[in-house]
């Protein structure tokens, strides 16, 4: 135990004296947390609409006014032809076109039905389908109003209507930051823990000081614990600062118990650091360790459900996602912070994370040899 004390003392002294490391551990995560949530937003806000009005009647004027008032669209331009409107989509100045045929008003009354044409930029599929859905619903609304001005309500059959009452649980204001910030918090702890821990041991290998330690009576577990514990502490510290930023900058107050959150964090960090450790036992120099760590951490982050939901993935990808330790923490952090989930709700994830911790660290310990 005393040996461990000396190891820890040395480790902490070295960390705090490393001028290039300190900003990465403390400043970078904070900057990330302040900028990323502002940028990371899948919301579909204002959709740029271009109108090709071949009719120019009072009806179409009213229709256009209604569309403008709906709040979904930003009417960018009115063009005289579809071709010109399409050019605007081509150079990204518009997202969707509405083309109204000539003599629209006259033909609607005379023939009882008229077509209008929508063309949406569907490269961003969600934006395209939401945009056309919104426009279609505004059109339907306008259609009903139009009927009422021309025909007495009793003159057409009563329709059966199903009223839909949507309710949003856990995040009634649909605040996207509530969703992203906890996830980003996990990522920043992951980058610090995974990368830095891996690099640390390899650096000693590179410098030769590891050989010096191998020759002493220091036991394997003491050496590894001496490496893990400081970064574990730093991980918890970073996470706490992150939570404070979430509270005071974004107004996110965890609904669930902090104790449960920290419990999971503790286990998660052990698993993550074990992973970094494992990489370092397979690398001879820092460059190698960085490349490999970067490769895997990229996969972890992309597959974790941070940016795109795991449920949307094909089955094989979901399996891959379930094999990464990050996924579970992202799940749990969102569940605890937003839904107030408790210990019993997350016991499955906790168990799996614990398994990761044991397997990764065990593997690393077996792999690290004092004698070759």
Partner 1 sequence: MQQFLVFVRKEFYHVFRDKRTLLILFGLPVMQILLFGFALTTEIKNARILIVDEAKDIASQQITNEIAASSYFSIEKSVLSHKDLYTAFREGKVKCALVFPAHFNDDLVHSNKAQVQIIADASDPNSAKTLTNYLSAIINDYQNRLNATAVQPYRIQPETLMLYNPELNGSLNFIPGVIALVLMIVCTTLTSVSIVREKEMGTMEILLVSPFKPLYVILSKAVPYLALSLLNFILILLLSIFLLHVPVRGNIFLLFGESTLFIISCLSLGLLISGVTNSQQTAMMISMMGMMLPTILFTGFLFPLENMPVPLQVISNFIPSRWYYTIVKTIMLKGLGFSTIWKETLILIGMTVLLLFISLKRFKIRLA
Partner 2 sequence: MSEKAIVCKDLTKEFGDFTAVNKISFEVNTGEIYGFLGANGAGKTTAMRMLCGLSYPTSGEAMVAGFNVYKQQESIKKNIGYMSQKFSLYENLTIRENIEFYGGIYGLSDQQLKSKEDELITTLGLEKEAKKLVGGLPLGWKQKLAFSVAIIHQPKIVFLDEPTGGVDPVTRRQFWDLIYEASAKGITIFVTTHYMDEAEYCGRISIMVDGRIDALDTPANLKQQFSATTMDEVFYALARGAKRSAD
Interaction partner, residue 141 (partner 2, partner 1, none; CB < 5-8 Å by kind): none
Q: Give the 3-state secondary structure of residue 75.
A: strand
125 binds partner 2 (CB under 8 A): no
Query: For partner 2, which is the closer residue by CB, 66 or 203?
Result: 203
Task: Find tokens 């649980």 and name the residue.
Answer: 169
158 binds partner 1 (CB under 8 A): yes
Start-to-end CA distance of the chain, whole Å, equals 26
133 binds partner 2 (CB under 8 A): no
Burial letters 167-179, b for 16+ CB under 10 A, else e: eeeeeeeeeebbb
Task: List binders of partner 1 among 97-116 (CB under 8 A).
Answer: 108-109, 112-116
What is the rounded CA–CA span in Å between residue 289 and residue 280? 6
Pick one of 152, 154, 309, 372: the residue that binds partner 1 (CB under 8 A): 309
What is the rounded CA–CA span in Å between residue 108 and residue 117? 15
Task: List binders of partner 2 among 190-209 (CB under 8 A).
Answer: 207-209
Query: For partner 1, which is the closer residue by CB, 287 or 366?
Result: 287
**Torsion-angle region of 340 (φ positive above 0: left; ψ -120 to 50: alpha; else: beta):** left
CB of 336 to partner 2, least distance (A): 39
Query: For partner 1, which is the closer residue by CB, 88 or 224?
Result: 88
Using CB under 8 A, count the residues that bind partner 1.
106
Work out the number of other CB atoms within 10 angstroms of the CB of residue 74.
13
For the chain, the residue count is: 372
The string of DSSP letters for 49-70 reads EEEEESS--HHHHHHHHHHHHT
215 binds partner 2 (CB under 8 A): yes
What is the rounded CA–CA span in Å between residue 39 and residue 53? 36
Pick one of 122, 139, 218, 365: the residue that binds partner 2 (CB under 8 A): 218
Pick one of 136, 137, 143, 216: the residue that binds partner 2 (CB under 8 A): 216
Pick one of 125, 153, 166, 217: the residue that binds partner 2 (CB under 8 A): 217
175 binds partner 1 (CB under 8 A): yes
Contact 272, 228 (CB under 8 A): no
Interaction partner, residue 208 (partner 2, partner 1, none; CB < 5-8 Å by kind): partner 2
Which residues contact partner 2 (rule: CB under 8 A)? 2-3, 5-7, 9-10, 13-14, 17-18, 207-209, 211-212, 214-219, 370-372
């Amino acid at each position: 135990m005393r040996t461990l004390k000396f190891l820890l003392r040395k480790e902490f002294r070295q960390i705090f004296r490393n001028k290039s490391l300190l900003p990465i551990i403390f400043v970078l995560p904070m900057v990330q947390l302040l900028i990323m949530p502002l940028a990371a937003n899948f919301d579909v806000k204002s959709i740029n609409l271009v109108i090709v009005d071949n009719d120019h009647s009072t009806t179409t004027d009213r229709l256009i006014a209604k569309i403008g008032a709906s709040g979904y669209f930003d009417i960018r331009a009115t063009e005289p032809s579809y071709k010109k409107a399409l050019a605007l989509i081509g150079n990204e100045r518009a997202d969707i076109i509405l083309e109204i045929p000539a003599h629209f008003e006259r033909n609607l009354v005379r023939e009882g039905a008229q077509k209008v044409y929508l063309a949406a930029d569907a490269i961003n599929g969600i934006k395209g389908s939401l945009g056309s859905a919104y426009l279609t619903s505004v059109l339907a609304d306008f259609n009903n109003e139009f009927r009422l001005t021309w025909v007495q309500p009793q003159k057409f059959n009563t329709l059966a209507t199903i009223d839909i009452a949507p309710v949003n649980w856990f995040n009634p204001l649909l605040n996207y930051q509530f969703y992203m910030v906890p996830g980003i918090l996990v990522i920043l702890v992951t980058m610090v823990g995974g990368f830095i821990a891996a690099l640390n041991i390899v650096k000693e290998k590179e410098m030769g000081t590891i050989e010096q330690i191998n020759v002493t009576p220091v036991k394997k577990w003491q050496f590894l614990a001496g490496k893990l514990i400081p970064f574990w502490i730093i991980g918890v510290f970073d996470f706490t600062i992150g939570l404070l930023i979430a509270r005071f900058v974004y107004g996110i107050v965890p609904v669930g118990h902090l104790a449960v959150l920290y419990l999971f964090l503790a286990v998660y960090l052990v698993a993550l650091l074990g992973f970094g450790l494992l990489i370092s036992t397979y690398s001879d120099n820092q460059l190698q360790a960085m490349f490999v760590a970067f490769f895997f951490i990229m996969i972890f982050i992309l597959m974790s459900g941070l940016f795109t939901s795991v449920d949307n993935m094909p089955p094989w990808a979901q399996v891959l996602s379930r094999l990464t330790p990050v996924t579970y923490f992202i799940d749990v952090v969102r569940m605890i912070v937003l839904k107030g989930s408790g210990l019993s709700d997350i016991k499955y994830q906790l168990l799996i994370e614990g398994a990761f911790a044991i397997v990764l660290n065990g593997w690393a310990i077996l792999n690290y040899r004092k004698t070759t």
